Amino acid sequence: MNLNKRLVVVGGGPAGHAAASLAARKGVQVTVVEREILGGAAHLLDCVPSKTMIATGSAVSFTEGLSGMGLENRDAEVDVEALTNRIEDIKTRLSNDVETLLVSQGVRIIRGTATLVDRCHVRVVLADGAEEVIETDDILISTGSRPRIPDFVQPDGDRILTTRDCYPPRIFPESVTIVGSGVTGVEFAHMFESFGSKVTLVVSRQQVLPGKDPEVAAVLEDTFLARGVRLFKGARATAIERTADGVRVVCDDGRVSETTHAVLAIGSLPNTEGLGLENVGVETDGGYIVINRHCQSSIDNIYAAGDVSGKLPLSSVASMQGRKVAEQVVGGPKGPHRHLDYDKAASAIFTEPEIADVGLAEAEAFASGRKIRVTKVPFSSTAKALINNDSRGFVKIISDPATGEVLGGSIVGRHAAELISVIALAVTANLKVTDIEESLLVHPALAEALSEAAD
């Protein structure tokens, strides 16, 4: 099918490649311009390397509990070079897979940096300095984001680091202060702690993971404290200075953390500077491209998806937005479809224990005065948790007391990121608690806590 429609995708991360792939399958002539690697920052700098290191860190933590499983406890020693190679291999493989897929679907891939000339022309400066101007019908901007750096400090890539400076892991810090206790901050705290670093976490509010269910955050805080992580609650970093052999992080309440390294984990900024958006009149807000529910910007043939759109900064959301853009480019979805509902996006935090949630949160429901039913079942009530020698955590399901509709849920514990899929499906498809309860699930499995919570 050739629709004689052309789409230029700027940025080949999860948003860009999902859009390119689906649009190409729908007969659109697609060109992807990427200045680094296909798969984007997600594969190169953020999601994949961090999760690969966390997987190794979690395996180290796992070995500490072996004696409870009838095995001899052995200290696992991390081979930094092998870990570095592993990260590189996974990254390269994933990126190559994206490239192979797109090429097989007839997508043209250009290595270079793109800017918008006008609403139908994109200029690309190629790696060798040559220039090409591409004419197109539609444009998708999916250029991602970068770590936010506060005014009071300049990372040096040596002792004062952004998350992107933490891999490849040349060394593991003897001690590290992590500034920021959102998802990235707590994941890095867990990661470094599991590799043996002494960790201090600067938590600007009174709980880690601001905005998350306090009960969920409390489980993580207890684990951190039990493992010797220092929590500076209610403190904001105001200065970070190099010392003779490390760094000094000064907080607004007078507390000071002296460690060998500091890592900034205080959010991100959109990559929209220098794209030429002003040439075309694309509306932005705080640098993020303003979009409607079809991911269209203020200029109707220019779309934005992924982190640049200022919605949920998750790879999964970026990919789904990309798919929606592809559908829109060919005239909108045919047949029954759902609009993208960001409130129904599942997300996970890869700490020990793992945390995941989706949909309506308990605190949110109380704040809005909405009546809800909350059922909570600890994993310790399942045979599988005992078999795994790990009975930490719980499943919580939030439903409508009148209709039984599943509105949300959270899970803390092993495999939470996988198990949340059941609740995510229920939330998306407006299923009822009885749908989960009556599903014949596996025994023994942690998922049995889901059936119990739905009962």
Ligand X SMILES: Cc1cc2nc3c(=O)[nH]c(=O)nc-3n(C[C@H](O)[C@H](O)[C@H](O)COP(=O)(O)OP(=O)(O)OC[C@H]3O[C@@H](n4cnc5c(N)ncnc54)[C@H](O)[C@@H]3O)c2cc1C
Note the residues at the interface with ligand X (CB under 6 A).
10-16, 33-36, 40-42, 46-47, 50-51, 113-114, 142-145, 163, 184, 271, 275, 306-307, 313-316, 318
- Nearest approach in angstroms of CB 116 to ligand X is 9
Q: Which residue has the tokens 């759109």?
A: 309
Burial bucket for residue 302 (CB in 10 Å: 0-12, 13-18, 19+): buried
Closer by beta carbon to ligand X, 11 or else 413: 11
- Nearest approach in angstroms of CB 453 to ligand X is 25
Cβ 136 vs Cβ 119: under 8 Å: no
Closer by beta carbon to ligand X, 48 or else 361: 48
Q: What is the DSSP letter of 152?
A: T
Closer by beta carbon to ligand X, 356 or else 436: 356
Closer by beta carbon to ligand X, 188 or else 379: 188
DSSP 164-225: GGG-S-S---SEEEEE--SHHHHHHHHHHHHTT-EEEEEESSSSSSTTS-HHHHHHHHHHHH
- Nearest approach in angstroms of CB 367 to ligand X is 26
How far, in Å, CA of 239 to CA of 223, rounded?
A: 28
- Nearest approach in angstroms of CB 178 to ligand X is 12
Straight-line distance from the first to the last Cα atom of the chain, in angstroms, rounded to the nearest whole number: 49
- Nearest approach in angstroms of CB 115 to ligand X is 7
- Nearest approach in angstroms of CB 17 to ligand X is 8
Closer by beta carbon to ligand X, 320 or else 450: 320
Cβ 283 vs Cβ 289: under 8 Å: yes
Cβ 10 vs Cβ 144: under 8 Å: no
Single-letter code of the amino acid located at 121: H
Torsion of CA 154, 155, 156, 157, to 10 degrees: -170
How far, in Å, CA of 272 to CA of 115, rounded?
A: 10
Closer by beta carbon to ligand X, 50 or else 382: 50
Closer by beta carbon to ligand X, 92 or else 391: 92
Burial bucket for residue 235 (CB in 10 Å: 0-12, 13-18, 19+): buried
- Nearest approach in angstroms of CB 369 to ligand X is 31
